[in-house]
Amino acid sequence: MPGLTLPNLTNITNITSLIQSTTGLYLSVSLRIGREKWEEKSLFARLPPELLREILIFAVYWPSYHPGADRKQPTIRSDLGSPFPLSQVCRQWRDIIIHTSSLWTDIDIYLPTVNHFYRTELWLERAIPKNLNIVVRHHPDSTLARLEVMERLFQILAKHRRRWRSINVTCPIPPPTLISALGDIQRLPYGVAQLREAHIDIQMPEPIGDIVVATPQAGKIYTHLAAVKGLRRLTWRSSVLPHTRFGRQLRFLELSGPIAAPDLLRGVIHCPALVYLSVHDVYPEGRFTAQNIDTSRVELPALVVLILTFVPQQPRSALADILPHLRLPALTQLQLQHIHPAPTSGSTPSDRAVVHALLAASRCRLASLNIDIPGAPPDELRAWITLPGAGELETLCLAGGTADDSVLADLTWAPEAGAAGTRLPRLRQLGLAVCAADVDDGALLRMIGSRLWVPVGGDGERRARAELRTAHVWVRECTPRMADYERMVRQCAERISAWRVPGEARELQFTEV
């Protein structure tokens, strides 16, 4: 700002002190009057408006950074929740807050009532010309009267639909005004439409009054969102997934609803820019088969994270309907929930073989693997640990199966072994399935210790290698030795300064099941 030098943001102590004084001021003013109130405010009364504005913004939006980090990182709201409380401190604060549009860009309404109408109109007016982040949440069992209130609320919000940057709506029945507003947005040119993120959660209950819950209402919202130019992130949670043609411009896509594996594959063909894909409730049967697709491999060159959760207890795996038709050269994180163990007979390829084929075809460097295999025996877990193409894993979670001493032996780093002679030498995060009842707790602790503590060589130098940061192990019984070891790691994490560095914190947890 011209003529004003703001505090250096790396000096977090001074800024935090000002923020705490600002927040504490509101609480004190609520209880004091007259001279005492003025004495509390006198410090801020001498500050120039430009600096006071910065302090008030910090009081409402806490920067999510650590000392030395860039200020441009995302921010979160403080406990104040809104700028309204601070605007009631004094006339000067009220004038500054009302004319600071960046404080009014986030609208979060839970269970709308008629009392929200006037405040929402004020909020929208004060946010001009900034873009808006809108959150409206309703109960799935809302009454007809509540749904009418929500419709009226969206009539107010829709007047500023061209400034919507993100919407997050949870409701049993989509308001008609929301549907029409999204229809208008999807017809706007690319440079005019500001909507970048959408989170829609439609949990359809039983019919309410004379209203019959109709699938086309949800379908219209989905169709409009898929066509919005510039939409980058879409989260869709509903018992109904109208169709599977996704927008080409999407970078983050999260679907929660029953979807057939071949249908999903047909949809992602049109999303070359996807970076993150998470799909829940995938089942094998579908209206189409994989042979209907006009290419043997669908390449998603930018996809980094793939999360697939399958409908449990299916007669066959749906994984083979998806992964053999994908090529993901940028994939680093793979999470598969409710997959099948290797078949004991027959010619059907195992899910493990399908994953191996994907890694080989994609030639990617997988850094994180999270697998949930209900009922998997120890041999199945050992096979995943030695999976070809996954030797550079930094994160491994094996859930749903049973681990025994042989699994622990595969994960133990031998005292004199180098990285070449050790499985998963880069491992930093470990989640291990339920250990068998007869597992040796000494073997378990040796495995964890071999990766948690860096050995010292003959010359006294610490060997340069990856160290385990976090370990979460599910056990049948947490023995006294396990409890003592967990407590020791916790105490060391409190005392060793290197273990308190952000991103390097150490944690060990045993959970009984």
Between CA 435 and CA 437 the distance in angstroms is 7
Question: Could you tell me the sign of the dihedral formed by the alpha carbons of 356, 361, 367, 373, in that order?
Answer: negative
Q: Give the confidence band of 297 by pLDDT, cuts at 50, 70, 90.
A: confident
DSSP SS3 for 457: coil
C-beta of residue 389 within 8 angstroms of C-beta of residue 353: no
- Return the DSSP state at 350: P
211-229, pLDDT tens digit by residue?
444 457 778 888 888 888 8
Is the pLDDT at 186 greater than 80? The verdict is yes
Q: Give the confidence band of 460 by pLDDT, cuts at 50, 70, 90.
A: very low
Give me the residue label for tokens 């007259």.
34
Q: How far is CA 103 from CA 57, 89, 123, in A?
A: 7, 16, 9
227-257, pLDDT tens digit by residue?
888 899 999 998 777 666 787 889 999 998 8
Residue 32's pLDDT is 45
The predicted model gives 330-347 an average pLDDT of 81
The predicted model gives 179-190 an average pLDDT of 89
Q: How far is CA 183 from CA 145, 207, 224, 472, 498, in A?
A: 25, 25, 5, 47, 54
Is the pLDDT at 142 greater than 80? The verdict is no
Q: Which residues of 203-242 are buried (b: 16+ CB within 10 A; e: fewer)?
A: ebeeebeeeebeeebbbbbbbbbbebbbbbbbbbbbebbb
Q: Give the confidence band of 457 by pLDDT, cuts at 50, 70, 90.
A: low
Is the pLDDT at 109 greater than 70? The verdict is yes
Is the pLDDT at 144 greater than 80? The verdict is no
Task: Give the number of other CB atoms < 10 A from CB of residue 97.
Answer: 23
Question: Could you tell me the sign of the dihedral formed by the alpha carbons of 43, 44, 46, 48, in that order?
Answer: positive
Between CA 227 and CA 331 the distance in angstroms is 27
Q: Six-digit token pair at 247? A: 């927008």
Is the pLDDT at 462 greater than 80? The verdict is no
Residue 141's pLDDT is 65
Is the pLDDT at 320 greater than 70? The verdict is yes
Lowest mean pLDDT among 22-26, 30-34, 412-416: 30-34
Residue 65's pLDDT is 38
Between CA 389 and CA 359 the distance in angstroms is 6
Residue 42's pLDDT is 61
Provide the strand spans (E) within 175-323. 197-202, 233-238, 252-260, 276-283, 298-299, 305-310
Q: Give the confidence band of 44 by pLDDT, cuts at 50, 70, 90.
A: low
> Which of 9-18, 165-174, 435-444, 447-456 is predicted most confidently?
165-174
Residue 69's pLDDT is 38
Is the pLDDT at 29 greater than 70? The verdict is no
The predicted model gives 71-89 an average pLDDT of 59
C-beta of residue 303 within 8 angstroms of C-beta of residue 269: no
Pick the residue with more confidence: 166 or 349? Answer: 166
Between CA 108 and CA 138 the distance in angstroms is 12
Write the CB contacts of 347 (distance below 8 Å, at least 6 apart in sequence).
Answer: none
Longest dimension (CA), the chain: 86
Q: Six-digit token pair at 270? A: 């049109």
Q: Using H for helix, E for strand and C for coil, what is the string for 371-439?
A: EECCCCCHHHHHHHHCCCCCCCCCEEEEEEEEECHHHHHHHCCCCCCCHHHCCCCCCCEEEEEEECCCC
Identify the bridge partners of residue 102 per DSSP, sorted by sequence position: none
Q: Give the confidence band of 417 by pLDDT, cuts at 50, 70, 90.
A: low
Residue 6's pLDDT is 44
Between CA 441 and CA 512 the distance in angstroms is 13
C-beta of residue 235 within 8 angstroms of C-beta of residue 198: yes
